[in-house]
Each structure stands twice: as structure tokens, then as C-alpha cells.
A and B are shown apart, each in its own frame.
Chain A
Amino acid sequence: MRENFLVVENVSKSFGGVKAISNVSFSLSGNSLLGIIGPNGAGKTTLINIITGFIKPDSGRVIFKGDDITGLPGYKIAEKGIARTFQIVRPFLHLPAYKNLIIPLYSKRVKSFRGGRFGDRDTVAIDLLEEVGFERDSSVPYKSASSLPHGYLKRLELARCLALQPELLILDELFSGMSMSEVAATVPIIEKLKAEGLTLIMIEHRLRELFRIADKVIVLNFGEKIAEGKPSEVIENELVKVAYLGAESA
């Protein structure tokens, strides 16, 4: 494991009066899986938006593999190998599912990987969809994205990220809206990706599944990091119990 694969240093961001993220720091070593949890509105998505260049932080730095990437435009950060899913999936509805993957496959990052232009992006796209559980020989990959059920859209979003051949993959509530069986089918995919050397950050409300696969968990509440540690330690933390169960149980 490589230390300091991703370092977030004293990052803060407020929207108007709301402190969405205040002074959050953490670091992540290579080929590990970090879970980020916290109640609704805790600032989890905002933190991801800062890391991936969709929001500029008011202060603080983000360092990826030794490079300061704070405030770089989103596409540059993606080019460096950080892929993310969106909490609210909005696929490219006009396009068939497999054509959704043409976009990352057409990016500079992937083009340069294959040594310039590579022949048939469509085939690569179908392969990737199979990897996330689309039935290869069915018509599902060719259907318009607007006609797919929610669980498929979530996995399509995952495939869009994988197409970028990322080094760091950030999943914002991938499991929400998936059925139990879809979650059960997706967990092994994530474990396989990690076994292949990928580093992951997962935001999840489904703690049971997350705690089974995470190496480390950080807990956000009202924009502040209130706990950090191994899943087993975080479960026992009093502050976390209060944040999750409400003040009366304290």
C-alpha cells in the first residue's frame, strides 16, 4: 500500500451562511477502501465535489499522488484518474446504454492509454457493461438509457467510471435505490476492483454492506469530521451514535 495516495488538508466550504464543510482533513493510502458516512446534509457530497473539481473550496488543499489538484477544472482531475459517480444518476438519456460509455472512452486519458485511436469503442463498451452485470447477449445494452430501470442506471454509472480506467474511484451512494439482490451482486464487483489495485471512496447509507468491505471510515456531521477509524472502532464511537440516533439517546 502506498501512503498518501490522496491527501485532503483543512478543506472548508460554505454556501451563504451554511458551513457545508469545515476544516476537514484525511488521507488515504493506495489500494484501500474508505467509507464516508454521516446523516443527510452532513456535507459528504460537497466533499466529493471539492475533490473532483466541481466546487472550489474556500480554503484547504487536495493532493493526489503528490500533485496539488485543488481548484483544477473537473475534466483535468478526471484525466488524472479520479472517476466519480453522481448521487442523482442522470445518464445520457438520448443514447443507448452502451453509447453512454463512448464519452469516457473518447476522453484524452483513455485515448492515450491505448496508444492513440483504438478501433472499436462499441465493443469495449459492451465488455464493460458485462463487467457490471448487463446481460451480454440480451438487448439490454442496446436499449435507450431512458428505458432502463434504476438499478441498471446505477450500474451504468459505475461502468461509465470504469471506462475511464481510473486510479481512484469515488462512489456517491451507489447502493441507494438498488434492490437487495442488486446490492448483493454489486459488492463482489467492488471487491474485485479493489483486488485489481483500485483505490475507492464510498459514501453510503447502507452501513452493514459498507462496514464489511471498508478499510477505514470517516464520519461527517454538520460539515465536520467527528470520527475516523476502522469500521469496528467507528461503530463503538459515542459521537457517531449521537449523530446517527439523535440527541435523546445520548
Chain B
Amino acid sequence: MIRKERIDRGIKVRSDDIYAISSYREILYLLLPRVIPVLCLLLLPTLLGSYYERVIIISCLMGLLALSWDLLASIGLFSLGQAFFFGVGGYASGFFSYQLGLPVPYSIVLGTVSGALVCTLLLAPVLRLKGVYFSIVTLAFPLFFVRIIESTKILGGTEGITGISPIGNSWIELYIPIFVFLFSLFGLRRLINSDYGIVLQAIRDNDRAVISSGINVYAYKLECTFIVSLLSCFSGAFMTHIYQAVGLSAFALDYSLLPLTSAVLGGVGTFAGPAIGTFILVPLSEFLRVFGTLRVVFYSVILFLCIVLLPEGIFPFLKRKYHQIERFVEV
């Protein structure tokens, strides 16, 4: 006799993180959803050609913004201002490269680290705010920087900084963003399921109980903000060298909204969700360019449909379906 059985039933023991694997087939079952996307990302650019290379680079860099948005959300801080990190990182590396004349690798690394320090320092006083109060303050931060640069005319004023050195090597230009993105994606998924990540999630659920468990909630928020700043500032710093320019548009609302919509589309709190979300939204808005100004309409309709049809997000939906795959077993 033969009956159907779900593959994951035999592998999972009681909880989410305990697996008991007994065959190559089961190992494959667990590895495939991880290996295939990685291989795709590594191989596709060479297969598709140079126009798509650009799209993939931008998707990876935007993906970093979405991943870091999700990390902030995991601790209960909903940011409406990822553009703030992106812009600070962008201007920092522009400054190091153009104004101080440092070579590209140094300006990216220094831009990332010093940008992250600046962002963390500026956000430190508002980390105690909760809910919508935090969101509103983060919404204001990029605007605040735009006004300062406009009125003081530092860092190129309204013109921005142009003539910044290019990365120079197209392989590096392509694979550094891909590797940083993949590393962050798997790293963050690992982090959030570690004991450290459990504490982060607990802070989102009920910070008073975390405090009374002897944990310095503020210190955790600060650490998280620094990680978030590092990832997002890297994204900005790298982008500066790709465009060989940085201007006030680095603080544009788009860079705040894209991570948010990607996360909602893909599934908040999963990291894989926001990653999938950006890899849908960034290429989509590229392809919709041919429609000119109608682009925004199409974009909104697609987004709207996705969210209405899959309110839990794409990734949780795919995950559920994957776990429901059945196989035939002999009884």
C-alpha cells in the first residue's frame, strides 16, 4: 500500500529549530531552498548581460536597506527613514573619495564605518521612543540633512559631489554587492534565531518583561542600530561609486519607502521576505520605465494586488507551500 506523507513531518521534531535528518533526500529537501537562490544570484548576471548586471547590483544594494529595515523592525522600531542611513553612507564615501582623495576601497570602508557611527550617534537619543513616535522622527531625519546641506552649501550644496572615482573593475562592482547581500541575509537569519536574536524579538513583544529579566534594553537597541547603520551605509557608500556622484537625491523618500514596501510584500520579520521583495520591486520598476509616468500607477496596482492576495507576505506563503509538499511512502 502507498500513502502520501509530508516530507517535513519526519524531519521536524517538535520545534522549529530541531531537525532529525536521516537521508540524503531529506538533506536535499532542506538545502534546496537555500542553494538555488544563491546559485541563481551568482550565475544569472553572467547569463543575462550587462544591462541586467546593473539591475542586480541595485537590487542587492536596496536589499541591504530592506534587510536592515527588517532588523530594526524585529526589535520593535519601525523606521520610515532608511534614506537617512543610505544618504549618510553615500555622502561619507563621497567626502573621503573626492574631498580627501582616498582610493576607492578605503573610501567605501571608511564611509561605511564613519557613516554608521554618525547615524548611531544621532539616533541614540530617539531609541527610547516607541511606535509611531520613533517612525515620525526617522521620517524627519533625511529631510533634516537635506536642509542642512542646502543651506550651508557644504558637501557640494544642492549640486552634490560629482566626478567621484568609479570602482574600476566590473567583476568587483558586481560581486561585492552580491556577496555582502548574501552574507547579510544568511547572517541575519542566523542571528535572529540565536539566543541574542531571541532577546531582540522579546524586546519587540514586551520590553518591560525584558528589563525585569536583567537585560539592558537600551544597549541592545544601540547595538542593533549600529548593525543596521553599517549595512545601510555600505549600501549608500557603494552606490556613490557606482553613480560616481552623490547628491541630495540620496536622501529621497524612495529609499525610505522601497525597503518598507519590500518587507511588507515579502513578509516582515523573516529577512528572506524583504530580500525577495526587493528582487521583485527593483526589477519591476526598471521594466516599467517604458511606460513613462504611468509607471507609478502600474507599480502601485501590482503592489496593492500582492498585498491584498498575500497579506502574510510572499516568503511565509512559499515556505508554507514548500512544507506541504508530499511524497509517496510505502506502508
Contact = CB atoms under 8 A, between A and B. Distances in A.
A128 to B, nearest CB: 13
Chain B's interface size range is 20 to 34
A89 to B, nearest CB: 9
Interface string B10-44: 00001110000000000000000000000000000
B206 A75 contact: no
A75 B195 contact: no
- The B interface is mostly helix, strand or loop, or mixed, namely helix
B214 A109 contact: yes
Contacts of A104: 213-215
A68 B15 CA distance: 44
Contacts of A157: 209
A96 to B, nearest CB: 6
Contacts of A110: 214
A95 interface: yes
Interface stretch (A1-9, A76-84, A191-199, A234-242): A76-84
Interface string A59-100: 000000000000001110011000110100011111110011
Contacts of A91: 205-206, 209
A102 B205 contact: no
Interface stretch (B49-57, B86-94, B196-204, B250-258): B196-204
Contacts of B199: 102-103, 106
A146 to B, nearest CB: 10
Contact of B196 (A100, A106, A161): A106
A103 B210 contact: yes
A92 B14 contact: no
Interface in B175-227: 195-196, 198-199, 201-202, 204-206, 208-217
Contact of B217 (A75, A92, A95): A75
Interface residues of A, number: 36
A139 B210 CA distance: 25
A216 interface: no
B17 to A, nearest CB: 9
B205 A78 contact: no
Contacts of A107: 213-215
Q: Which of B14, B204, B205 has the most CB of A within 10 A?
A: B205
Given A142-B14, A142-B15, A92 B202 contact: yes
Contacts of B208: 54, 74, 86, 90
B201 A92 contact: yes
Nearest to B17: A122
A176 B16 CA distance: 32
A103 B213 contact: yes
A222 to B, nearest CB: 26
A230 B308 CA distance: 63
B131 to A, nearest CB: 15
A95 B205 contact: yes
B211 A94 contact: no
A164 B214 CA distance: 8
Given A106-B195, A121-B195, A95 B214 contact: no
B214 A90 contact: no
A114 to B, nearest CB: 13
A107 B196 CA distance: 10
Closest 4 CB pairs of A and B: A107-B214, A78-B214, A104-B213, A74-B211
Interface of A: 52, 54, 73-75, 78-79, 83-84, 86, 90-96, 99-100, 102-110, 121, 139, 142, 157, 160-161, 163-164
